Amino acid sequence: MPGTFCLKSCPNRWIDVTRYCLLAALLWSFSSLINAAELAIIIDDVGYNATAGQQLVELNHAVTLAVLPFTPHGKKLANSGARYGKEIMLHAPMSATRPDYADKHMLTGSMSNSQLQALLKRMLAEVPHARGINNHMGSQLTRETGAMHALMHVLADRQLYFIDSRTTDKTVALDTARENGLPAMKRDVFLDNRREKTAITRQVQQAIQLAQRQGYAVAIGHPYPETIAVLKQLDALLADTGVTVVPASQLIAQHAPAATYLPKPLPLALCAAPPLLLWRTDAELNRLWQDQQHRSRLKKLFYPDIVTQFER
């Protein structure tokens, strides 16, 4: 029959694409039940407050510490965190749209590519044990494709990962990281835009629910007393959810490894758009991804809409 895609399961019996898709969807759902969902919790701005930083270091769960360079306690807390088995990231200051957020140790669009790369290398030297980086502020710089490419070259050379904090909806950082073959993801939830325990608890629950739905989530918070108090109650919040807190690198290795430009499509997504996806090789899919028109269609299939939250 024209247009029908069939699989031969045994002699004289054929299964059409509809039955195949239903079976694949059931198998996907079953595998999701077996594999626990994963949540990365990244705590930014570590380095100014030694007491708060050490409390984070000593948490039972595998939170990831994003350390600001050139801070009074950054190096010490990075070393302490590594001793306690915590993953360390560089929290790299980048220029924001608001000029009052300027800092002398900040990556800015006014720098040449060589200046950007030199400063990023200095920042990395300030944060021992860093496995990757995310942006501190950056609502301006993460819009600038040329600057992002210059920075991603340094990360690629050092085999580091990148997480886009998404402080603006105009960011090109994630796409640029992927174009440079980096393991990369984006922030899904900010935990503490409101510094109230009840509000932070709700945000943690939102991150957990998102991880349950899509298998993973990335949440970002700060070393506020209220945030630390909620994180100390993670055992209760995670109970019976099937969600595990893991280091950012583990989440990325599972869900966004290096040089992976397209996530694997869900079976139902495959069935929903056969003209675009069926019979495509990986190389063909990557070529489609480079085309803006096809990219927008692919994003609708692969990237669920999430309420955007902004830091600064």
User: Does the structure show a pLDDT above 80 at 202?
Assistant: yes
Q: Tell me which residue has tokens 């966004």.
A: 256
For residues 243 and 273, membership in a common domain is answered with no
> How does DSSP classify residue 107?
B
For residues 169 and 58, membership in a common domain is answered with yes
Question: Is 31 inside any structural domain?
Answer: no
Which residues neighbour 20 within 8 Å (Cβ) at sequence distance 6 or greater? 5, 7
Query: Mean pLDDT, to the nearest integer, of 159-167?
Result: 97
For residues 248 and 296, membership in a common domain is answered with no
Report how far apart, in Å, the C-alpha atoms of 1 and of each of 13, 16, 22, 277, 280 are. 15, 10, 20, 20, 21
Question: Is 4 inside any structural domain?
Answer: no
Cα torsion for 292, 293, 299, 302, to the nearest 10°? -120
For residues 244 and 266, membership in a common domain is answered with no
Which residues neighbour 179 within 8 Å (Cβ) at sequence distance 6 or greater? 149, 152, 261
Given 211, 232, 255, the domain boundary residue is: 255
Cα torsion for 202, 208, 212, 218, to the nearest 10°? 120
For residues 297 and 198, membership in a common domain is answered with no
For residues 157 and 298, membership in a common domain is answered with no
Q: Tell me which residue has tokens 């096809």.
A: 294
Question: Is 168 inside any structural domain?
Answer: yes
Higher-pLDDT residue of 150 and 280 is 150
For residues 156 and 304, membership in a common domain is answered with no
Please give the tally of structural domains in the chain. 2
Q: Which domain holds residue 236?
A: 37-255
Query: Mean pLDDT, to the nearest integer, of 240-245?
Result: 97
What is the C-alpha separation between 156 and 107, in angstroms, rounded?
18
Question: Is 3 inside any structural domain?
Answer: no
Higher-pLDDT residue of 22 and 185 is 185
**N residues, the chain:** 312
Which residues sit opposite 219 in a β-bridge? 41, 189
pTM of the model: 0.74
For residues 218 and 271, membership in a common domain is answered with no
User: Does the structure show a pLDDT above 80 at 299?
Assistant: no
Given 216, 239, 255, the domain boundary residue is: 255
CA gyration radius, the chain: 21
User: Does the structure show a pLDDT above 90 at 312?
Assistant: no
What is the C-alpha separation between 88 and 98, in angstroms, rounded?
28
Question: Is 6 inside any structural domain?
Answer: no
Question: Is 301 inside any structural domain?
Answer: yes
Given 255, 284, 304, the domain boundary residue is: 255
Question: Is 240 inside any structural domain?
Answer: yes
Which residues neighbour 287 within 8 Å (Cβ) at sequence distance 6 or greater? none
For residues 141 and 230, membership in a common domain is answered with yes
What is the C-alpha separation between 131 and 166, in angstroms, rounded?
19
Q: What is the mean pLDDT of the chain?
A: 83
What is the C-alpha separation between 62 and 57, in angstroms, rounded?
9
Selection from 112, 173, 120 nearest residue 143 by Cα: 173
For residues 287 and 154, membership in a common domain is answered with no
For residues 248 and 130, membership in a common domain is answered with yes
For residues 84 and 215, membership in a common domain is answered with yes
Question: Is 236 inside any structural domain?
Answer: yes
User: Does the structure show a pLDDT above 70 at 273?
Assistant: no
Residue 88: give its domain's CATH number: 3.20.20.370
User: Does the structure show a pLDDT above 60 at 266?
Assistant: no
What's the pLDDT score for residue 22? Answer: 57
Share of the chain above pLDDT 70, in %: 71
- Residue 151 is encoded by which pair of tokens? 């920075």
User: Does the structure show a pLDDT above 60 at 4?
Assistant: no
User: Does the structure show a pLDDT above 60 at 216?
Assistant: yes
